[in-house]
């Protein structure tokens, strides 16, 4: 598997796992990988009267010796680095895309009293599995953290 293909598979699997993670916590998936005003929004989810625009960041976990366990049992350093990838420029783009999506979907806008932007970080721990280049990220260990109201 080439590096580019691996990244694509990693990203798709991370988004799939993020959606499952959120569903298990009571969110309903409204849309996946939507484009609005030339911006891709990874997930749009809802819970109660809250509409959430979610950016998913999937990464290969840093080497285990450089990590510390985070408050939710995740690999803290790697999750922080992934979340920090949603910089000011990316945040502005996501806000613009969310605004465009809401304008195109007024029924969703009316049905939500609260809106927010979350980040879900998904770390793939390929340790021990990197010897086999055909191993898909879906069969390895994952660590997921949910950053509510991230920006």
Calpha distance 52→20 (Å, rounded) = 15
The 10s digit of each residue's pLDDT in 83-141 is 788 999 999 999 999 999 999 999 988 889 999 999 999 999 876 444 444 444 545 68
Pair of tokens at residue 141: 């260990």
Pair of tokens at residue 99: 């605004």
The 10s digit of each residue's pLDDT in 24-49 is 999 999 999 999 999 999 999 999 99
Would you list the domain boundaries of the chain? Answer: 3-147
Burial of 145 (0-12, 13-18, 19+ CB in 10 A): buried
CATH 3.40.1350.10 fits 3-147, yes or no: yes
Query: Is 60:122 a contact under the CB 8 Å cutoff?
Result: no
């Amino acid at each position: 598997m080439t590096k580019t293909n691996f990244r694509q598979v990693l990203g798709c699997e991370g988004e799939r796992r993020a959606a499952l993670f959120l569903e298990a916590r009571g969110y309903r998936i409204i849309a996946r990988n939507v484009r609005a005003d030339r911006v891709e929004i990874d997930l749009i989810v809802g819970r109660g009267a809250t509409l959430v625009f979610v950016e998913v960041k999937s990464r290969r976990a840093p080497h285990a010796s450089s990590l510390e366990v985070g408050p939710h049992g995740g690999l803290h350093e790697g999750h922080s680095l992934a979340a920090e990838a949603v910089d000011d420029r990316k945040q502005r783009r996501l806000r613009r895309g969310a605004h465009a999506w809401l304008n195109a979907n007024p029924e969703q806008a009316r049905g939500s009293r609260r809106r927010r932007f979350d980040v879900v970080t998904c770390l793939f721990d390929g340790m021990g599995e990197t010897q086999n280049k055909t191993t898909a990220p879906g069969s390895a260990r994952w660590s997921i953290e949910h950053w509510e109201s991230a920006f």
